[in-house]
């Protein structure tokens, strides 16, 4: 028995025969070339890039026919990487200055990219290297003529392990045979992980060296909940996994039965439970888990890993895919929230001493009104297709929201002048995630149609705790009395102005916090698709009245530890009462 541990990237437990495939590493050698061959090698490189582009275009058409448009976002990303001029200019430079063959030069370019990406702090961005690797491997294959090992189709119940699995590969697998995937690289936010979750395929990623071991054909257990991979499990551990699997599937099965049930409390109060998404692939999964549409669509992904901003048409087409995926439910689109830990190419943020307090989110958008209006027009245009709300991130005061709204009005006029339809009453919201916005919540509430609290940032800025600093994770406390007071103030301000109070930070998806958020009076909670049914289950067992008392009770305590203890005791009391 050999146990490995990786990143739990897509939930579920599966047992099958391990099938190791090695598709992504093309064997290429580097060798010196005479100066007269330089132009031949650069031409080979350019041709291989062209051929790869046509190959991806064909793949896109083929997958659109078999799987629909919904999951094709990643191919666009790959086409964009291929279109990046620097790929060709840097590699050509290496051919010229290093006097080496095109394959060798391209490998060196990839190596440079790897080094650059490995220094990026944000895990989502760091993992984008896997898209670059997939694209470069395709170009290398095109140059060497080496054919990728085909994905196994009918080999019984297998678990595929590979150094990397591209989203395109994932869409081509036969779900009846392939029970789970394991990859050597990647993490929770890689496109492959997002797609695996959308396809409900258990996945463990970042299992170093899994493909170098000689385990092909051996029995394997993959635990996408804990990140464990066990090859040749002994009887006892197999039985343990089997029990966990049965329990997980039983709970999922029971939870899925609740999809059609309304998200109401025992005393009949309806709370909207919505999904947080980053790419259109996730829309279907939100609906499958009973989400009432999307409460937070983070649009940053569309702007990342590219030398220039997406134009209005490109944005419109992606927003349309998202809207179609969740129609007829409503879609809340957040405008660009780049900066801080989500860097855009070409933005020189390395010079910022405090990126979390730097040029980010609405500040970037307001500094580039023309680009911002492109996004606003694209959002407005999709609002003609179904219910869409627009939401501005990191608003700190009235000037910002007024400027953003003025630009929205200009975007409306641009469209009206061209006779392009849009929802002229589109609902406008602000994210409340900066303490200044909490202090000014009553004033901000008069300017907008809804609030959405970004607790991830609000906690960070309220407690001055970097949200991504693992050393401080103990101090990152959602139930800190200062946070609770802020939340109460936000809801009171929203309701005072008769607008809904929504919350879309990670806190929304944690069942323990549900009674508090419900009791504070939140009208809508938006979370990862996988949390919706669990939160709904608790919601359906609470009364608003009891939750309000519980929330109120929290304010009697002055430390987080006391609040946590109080909440746990209240929940234990409830469970005990329900058993009595
Ligand atoms: C938040 O800050 O809580 C939020 C939802 O936004 P993000 O995590 O994208 O900053
Ligand atoms: Mg935020």
Question: What's the whole-number mean pLDDT along residues 573-580?
Answer: 64
> pLDDT tens for residues 308-335?
889 999 999 999 999 999 999 999 999 9
> pLDDT tens for residues 348-402?
555 788 888 988 999 999 999 999 999 999 999 999 999 999 999 999 999 999 9
The catalytic residue among 78, 502, 504, 542 is 504
Quick one: pLDDT at residue 115?
85
Q: Is the CB of 206 under 6 A from ligand 1?
A: no
Which residue stretches of 257-332 are H helix? 283-288, 312-326
Quick one: pLDDT at residue 579?
54
The fraction of the chain above a pLDDT of 90, given in percent, is 61
Q: Which two tokens stand for residue 62?
A: 């083929």
* Cβ count near 126 (within 10 Å): 16
Quick one: pLDDT at residue 513?
94
User: For residues 329 and 363, is the Cβ–Cβ distance under 8 A?
Assistant: no
Question: What's the whole-number mean pLDDT along residues 155-184?
Answer: 85
Please, which pLDDT band fits residue 471 given cuts at 50, 70 and 90? confident
Quick one: pLDDT at residue 211?
75
C-alpha 403 to ligand 1 mean position (Å): 22
C-alpha 393 to ligand 2 mean position (Å): 7
Quick one: pLDDT at residue 73?
73
Flag the least confident range among 136-140, 146-150, 299-303, 562-566. Answer: 146-150
Q: What gap in Å lies between CA 58 and CA 81, rounded to an integer?
A: 17
Query: Around 42, how many Cα atoms within 13 Å sit in the side-chain half-sphere?
Result: 17
Quick one: pLDDT at residue 348?
58
Q: What gap in Å lies between CA 195 and CA 175, rounded to an integer?
A: 13
Q: For a ligand 1 pocket test, name from 302, 337, 509 the mutation site with the most ligand atoms within 8 angstroms of its C-beta.
A: 337
- What pTM was estimated for this model as a whole? 0.75
User: Distance of CA 386 to CAs 213, 379, 567, Å?
Assistant: 51, 11, 40
Cis peptide before 328 (omega within 30 of 0): yes
Q: Is the CB of 221 under 6 A from ligand 1?
A: no
Q: What gap in Å lies between CA 562 and CA 565, rounded to an integer?
A: 5
Q: Is the CB of 298 under 6 A from ligand 1?
A: yes
C-alpha 29 to ligand 1 mean position (Å): 45
- For residue 554, indicate whether it is catalytic: no
Of residues 199 and 235, the one with the higher pLDDT is: 235
C-alpha 111 to ligand 2 mean position (Å): 33
In sequence order, what DSSP letters do the residues of 256-285 get, joined into one string? HTTTTS--B-TT--B-EEEEEESSGGGHHH
> pLDDT tens for residues 503-557?
999 899 988 899 999 999 999 999 989 889 999 999 999 999 999 999 999 999 9
Question: What's the whole-number mean pLDDT along residues 191-214?
Answer: 82
Which residue stretches of 383-472 are H helix? 398-417, 435-439, 441-445, 455-463
Quick one: pLDDT at residue 167?
76
The residue assigned the tokens 């983070």 is 298
Residue whose CA is closest, atom 3 of ligand 1?
A: 454
Q: Sheet containing 7-10: which strands, arranged edge to edge?
A: 2-5, 228-231, 219-223, 13-21, 158-162, 178-183, 203-205, 7-10
Tell me 329's DSSP state: S
Nearest-atom index, ligand 1, CA of 296? 5
Does pLDDT of 426 surpass 60? Answer: yes
Nearest-atom index, ligand 1, CA of 460? 2
Question: What's the whole-number mean pLDDT along residues 288-315?
Answer: 90
Q: What gap in Å lies between CA 115 and CA 484, rounded to an integer?
A: 42
Question: What's the whole-number mean pLDDT along residues 75-99?
Answer: 90
C-alpha 311 to ligand 2 mean position (Å): 24
What φ, ψ does residue 188 adopt, rounded to 5°? -55, -30
The chain-wide mean pLDDT, for the chain, equals: 89
Please, which pLDDT band fits residue 174 given cuts at 50, 70 and 90? confident
User: For residues 382 and 345, is the Cβ–Cβ distance under 8 A?
Assistant: no
Q: Is the CB of 337 under 6 A from ligand 1?
A: yes
Q: Is the CB of 278 under 6 A from ligand 1?
A: no
Q: For a ligand 1 pocket test, name from 437, 454, 504, 517 the mutation site with the most ligand atoms within 8 angstroms of its C-beta.
A: 454
Radius of gyration of the chain from its Cα atoms, rounded to whole angstroms: 25
Residue whose CA is closest, atom 1 of ligand 1?
A: 454
> pLDDT tens for residues 236-292?
999 999 999 999 999 989 999 999 999 999 999 999 999 999 888 889 989 999 999
The fraction of the chain above a pLDDT of 70, given in percent, is 93
Q: Is the CB of 460 under 6 A from ligand 1?
A: no
Q: What gap in Å lies between CA 378 and CA 422, rounded to an integer?
A: 10
C-alpha 326 to ligand 2 mean position (Å): 23
Q: Is the dihedral of CA 570, 571, 576, 580 positive or negative?
A: positive
* Cβ count near 148 (within 10 Å): 15
User: Distance of CA 543 to CAs 200, 225, 514, 524, 532, Å?
Assistant: 32, 31, 11, 16, 18
How many residues in total does the chain contain? 580
Quick one: pLDDT at residue 137?
86
Does pLDDT of 144 surpass 90? Answer: no
Burial class, 70, CB count within 10 angstroms (exposed 0-12 / middle 13-18 / buried 19+) = middle
Please, which pLDDT band fits residue 575 given cuts at 50, 70 and 90? low
Nearest to 229 by CA among 9, 386, 500: 9
Nearest to 195 by CA among 130, 253, 110: 130
Quick one: pLDDT at residue 342?
65
Measured from the alpha carbon of residue 503, the closest ligand is 1
Q: For a ligand 1 pocket test, name from 188, 276, 504 the mutation site with the most ligand atoms within 8 angstroms of its C-beta.
A: 504
| Domains observed in the chain | 2-23+149-255 (3.50.30.10), 35-144 (1.10.274.10), 257-579 (3.20.20.60)
Quick one: pLDDT at residue 199?
79
Q: Is the CB of 507 under 6 A from ligand 1?
A: no
The catalytic residue among 71, 191, 329, 480 is 191
Measured from the alpha carbon of residue 459, the closest ligand is 1
Q: Is the CB of 457 under 6 A from ligand 1?
A: yes
Please, which pLDDT band fits residue 578 given cuts at 50, 70 and 90? low
Question: What's the whole-number mean pLDDT along residues 491-504?
Answer: 98
- For residue 504, indicate whether it is catalytic: yes
Nearest to 442 by CA among 494, 383, 510, 384: 494
Which residue stretches of 99-233 are H helix? 102-118, 123-127, 129-144, 167-172, 191-199
Residue whose CA is closest, atom 6 of ligand 1?
A: 454
Q: Is the CB of 504 under 6 A from ligand 1?
A: yes
User: Distance of CA 136 to CAs 28, 86, 106, 184, 215, Å?
Assistant: 12, 13, 8, 18, 28
C-alpha 44 to ligand 1 mean position (Å): 45
Q: Which two tokens stand for residue 500?
A: 């809904």
Does pLDDT of 80 surpass 90? Answer: no
């Amino acid at each position: 028995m050999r146990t490995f541990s990786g990143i739990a990237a897509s939930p579920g437990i599966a047992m099958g025969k391990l099938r190791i495939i090695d598709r992504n590493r093309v064997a290429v050698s580097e060798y010196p070339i005479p100066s007269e061959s330089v132009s031949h090698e650069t031409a080979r490189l350019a041709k291989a890039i062209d051929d790869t582009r046509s190959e991806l275009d064909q793949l896109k058409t083929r997958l659109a026919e078999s799987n629909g448009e919904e999951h094709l976002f990643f191919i666009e990303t790959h086409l964009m990487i291929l279109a990046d001029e620097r790929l060709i200019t840097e590699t050509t430079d290496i051919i010229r200055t290093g006097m080496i063959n095109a394959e060798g030069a391209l490998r060196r370019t990839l190596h440079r990219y790897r080094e650059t990406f490995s220094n990026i702090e944000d895990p989502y961005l760091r993992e984008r290297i896997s898209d670059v690797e997939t694209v470069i491997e395709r170009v290398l294959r095109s140059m060497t003529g080496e054919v990728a090992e085909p994905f196994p189709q009918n080999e019984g119940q297998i678990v595929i392990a590979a150094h990397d699995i591209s989203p395109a590969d994932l869409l081509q697998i036969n779900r009846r045979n392939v029970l789970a995937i394991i990859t050597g690289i990647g993490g929770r936010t890689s496109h492959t992980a997002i797609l695996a979750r959308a396809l409900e395929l258990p996945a463990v990623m970042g299992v170093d060296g899994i493909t170098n071991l000689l385990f092909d054909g051996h029995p394997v257990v993959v635990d996408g909940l804990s990140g464990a991979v066990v090859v040749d499990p002994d009887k006892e551990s197999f039985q343990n996994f089997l029990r966990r699997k049965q329990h997980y599937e039983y709970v999922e099965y029971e939870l899925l039965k609740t999809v059609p049930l309304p998200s109401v409390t025992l005393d009949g109060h309806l709370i909207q439970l919505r999904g947080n998404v980053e790419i259109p692939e996730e829309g279907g999964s939100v609906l499958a888990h009973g989400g009432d549409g999307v409460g937070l669509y983070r649009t940053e992904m569309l702007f990342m890993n590219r030398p220039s901003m997406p134009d209005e048409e490109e944005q419109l087409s992606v927003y349309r895919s998202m809207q179609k995926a969740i129609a007829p439910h409503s879609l809340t689109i957040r405008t660009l929230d780049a900066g801080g830990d989500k860097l855009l190419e070409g933005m020189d943020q390395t010079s910022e001493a405090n990126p979390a307090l730097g040029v980010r989110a609405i500040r970037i958008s307001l500094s580039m009104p023309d680009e911002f209006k492109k996004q606003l027009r694209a959002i407005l245009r999709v609002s003609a297709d179904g219910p869409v709300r627009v939401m501005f991130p990191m608003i700190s005061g009235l000037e910002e929201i007024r400027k953003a709204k003025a630009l929205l009005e200009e975007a409306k006029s641009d469209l009206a002048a061209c006779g392009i339809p849009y929802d002229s009453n589109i609902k406008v919201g602000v994210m409340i995630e900066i303490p200044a916005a909490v202090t000014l919540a009553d004033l901000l509430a008069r300017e907008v149609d809804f609030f959405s609290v970004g607790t991830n940032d609000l906690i960070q800025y309220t407690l001055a705790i970097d949200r991504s600093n693992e050393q401080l994770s103990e101090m990152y406390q959602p139930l800190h009395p200062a946070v609770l007071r802020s939340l109460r103030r936000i809801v009171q301000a929203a309701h005072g102005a008769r607008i809904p109070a929504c919350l879309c930070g990670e806190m929304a998806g944690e069942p323990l916090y549900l009674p508090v958020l419900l009791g504070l009076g939140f009208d809508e909670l938006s979370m990862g698709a996988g949390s919706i049914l669990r939160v709904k289950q608790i919601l359906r067992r609470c009364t608003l009245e009891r939750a309000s008392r519980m929330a109120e009770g929290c304010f009697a305590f002055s430390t987080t530890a006391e609040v946590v203890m109080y909440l746990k005791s209240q929940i234990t009391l409830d469970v005990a009462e329900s058993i009595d």
